[in-house]
């Protein structure tokens, strides 16, 4: 088939469809409890849509088309969110949260331009979280300690799931290996970013690749990042080695958010200084919005990892190409 689909040799799901549905709920229940406890987060409600043109919707890599539509009663245009990176920081300000306090929410999004394969879907579901920090906490140690807390929550969820379903035999390394995107390029200069990630994840099992968004010495980026939410010097991606697929699986993208200085520097680098007209960006520049750290944790990808599934469609309902559905069916992979 023309699309990227990988069928692991000899793959057979370890859980029935009904067991899988039960396990998905179990994982989502226990993991969000562990996450909220470990990071001191309150559960809040969040929007599926936001008003178009107010600068709140996430631009991701800056090229993805948003799903937009008109609203009959309001005479305005709305957009389906792509993530809640900016909305969360605004919410912390509006709700009066203080340093050390934070929020998390279930985020559902549609990313119409995403490729569909074993680990990508146009439907995105994740736990979006955000926490207020102080100026003194805007450093790499805060980032690393937060990553360790998230890994601890993932490992705890895996242990509980494996007790309930002993046929699930993979394990989670609880000690993350930290490396910058430049160090990774220096180590494997002849590999692509994704190849580098799989090599390092296979070796260390749990890896956090830091400093994503700026150009590397090669002139290429490790991966794209919007210039107005993460500080590119204080962010990263959390990867776990996926035994089922034999590859690195990104579970979370996160980071310390931009302050006034890093916002202007990154907007200038991306030729996006026109965004300073939006209220969100003005509130960062004038210091109205709190300093924060935050990220998203993929719910379906976490379920994939813990339930040892070969395709994200085994743990979420979405829309798939007809030839992908057929090939998966022929190889024992049931897409929900």
Tens-digit pLDDT profile for residues 160-212: 999 999 999 999 999 999 999 999 999 999 999 999 999 999 999 999 999 99
86 found inside a domain? yes
Of the chain, the percentage scoring pLDDT greater than 90 comes to 68
- Mean per-residue pLDDT over the chain, rounded: 91
How many residues belong to the chain?
336
151 found inside a domain? yes
336 found inside a domain? no
pLDDT at 230 over 50: yes
77 found inside a domain? yes
33 found inside a domain? yes
At residue 1 the predicted structure's pLDDT band, cuts being 50, 70 and 90, is very low
User: Would you list the DSSP string of 116-157?
Assistant: -SSS--SEEEEEEEEEE--GGG-SHHHHHHHHHHHHHHHHHH
Q: Which residue has the higher pLDDT, 284 or 54?
A: 284
Joined together, the tokens standing for residue 336 give 């929900």
CATH number of the domain at 280, please: 3.30.930.10
Q: What DSSP character marks residue 44?
A: -
Q: What is the pLDDT of residue 63?
A: 63
Question: Which among 32, 36, 58, 257 is annotated as catalytic?
Answer: 58
334 found inside a domain? no
Question: Which among 130, 197, 228, 250 is annotated as catalytic?
Answer: 250
pLDDT at 61 over 70: no
111 flagged as catalytic: yes
58 flagged as catalytic: yes
1 found inside a domain? no
When pLDDT is averaged across residues 45-58 and rounded to a whole number, the result is 78
326 flagged as catalytic: no
250 flagged as catalytic: yes
For β-strands 123-132 and 292-298, DSSP reports them as antiparallel
Q: What is the pLDDT of residue 336?
A: 83
The tally of domains found in the chain comes to 1
By mean pLDDT, which of 6-10, 147-151, 287-291 is the weakest?
6-10
Question: Which among 36, 137, 211, 253 is annotated as catalytic?
Answer: 253
pLDDT at 70 over 90: no
237 flagged as catalytic: yes
pLDDT at 60 over 80: no
Question: What is the domain range of residue 276?
Answer: 17-324
Q: What is the pLDDT of residue 2?
A: 40
Joined together, the tokens standing for residue 294 give 């935050």
333 found inside a domain? no
**Phi, psi (5° rounding) for residue 271?**
55, 45
Q: What is the pLDDT of residue 234?
A: 97
Burial of 125 (0-12, 13-18, 19+ CB in 10 A): buried
Q: What is the pLDDT of residue 59?
A: 64
Question: Which among 125, 130, 230, 237 is annotated as catalytic?
Answer: 237
Question: Which among 36, 83, 126, 233 is annotated as catalytic?
Answer: 126
Q: What is the pLDDT of residue 231?
A: 96
By mean pLDDT, which of 58-62, 108-112, 150-154, 279-283 is the weakest?
58-62
126 flagged as catalytic: yes
């Amino acid at each position: 088939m023309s699309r990227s689909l990988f069928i692991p040799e000899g793959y057979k799901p370890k859980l029935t469809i009904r067991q899988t549905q039960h396990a998905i709920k179990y994982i989502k229940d226990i993991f969000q409890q562990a996450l909220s406890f470990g990071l001191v987060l309150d559960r809040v409600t969040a929007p599926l849509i936001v008003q178009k043109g107010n600068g709140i919707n996430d631009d991701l890599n800056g090229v993805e088309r948003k799903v937009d539509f008109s609203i009959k009663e309001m005479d305005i245009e709305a957009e389906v969110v792509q993530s809640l990176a900016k909305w969360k920081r605004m919410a912390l300000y509006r709700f009066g949260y203080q340093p050390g306090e934070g929020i998390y929410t279930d985020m559902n999004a549609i990313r119409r331009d995403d490729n569909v394969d074993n680990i990508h879907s146009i439907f995105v579901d994740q736990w979006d979280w955000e926490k207020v920090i102080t100026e003194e906490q805007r450093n790499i140690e805060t980032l690393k300690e937060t990553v360790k807390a998230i890994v601890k929550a993932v490992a705890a969820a895996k242990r509980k799931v494996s007790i309930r379903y002993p046929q699930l035999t993979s394990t989670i390394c609880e000690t993350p290996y930290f490396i910058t995107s430049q160090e990774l390029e220096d180590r494997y200069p002849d590999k692509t970013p994704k190849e580098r990630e799989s090599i390092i994840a296979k070796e260390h099992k749990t890896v956090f690749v830091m400093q994503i968004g700026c150009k590397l010495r090669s002139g290429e980026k490790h991966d794209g990042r919007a210039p107005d939410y993460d500080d590119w010097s204080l962010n990263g991606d959390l990867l776990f080695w996926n035994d089922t697929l034999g590859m690195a699986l990104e579970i979370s993208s996160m980071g310390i958010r931009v302050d006034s200085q890093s916002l202007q520097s990154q907007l200038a680098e991306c030729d996006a200084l026109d965004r300073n007209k939006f209220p969100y960006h003005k509130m960062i520049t004038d210091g109205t919005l709190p300093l924060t750290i935050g990220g998203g944790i993929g719910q379906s990808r976490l379920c994939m990892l813990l339930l040892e599934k070969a395709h994200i469609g085994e743990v979420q309902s979405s829309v798939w190409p007809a030839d992908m559905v057929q090939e998966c069916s022929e190889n024992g992979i049931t897409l929900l």
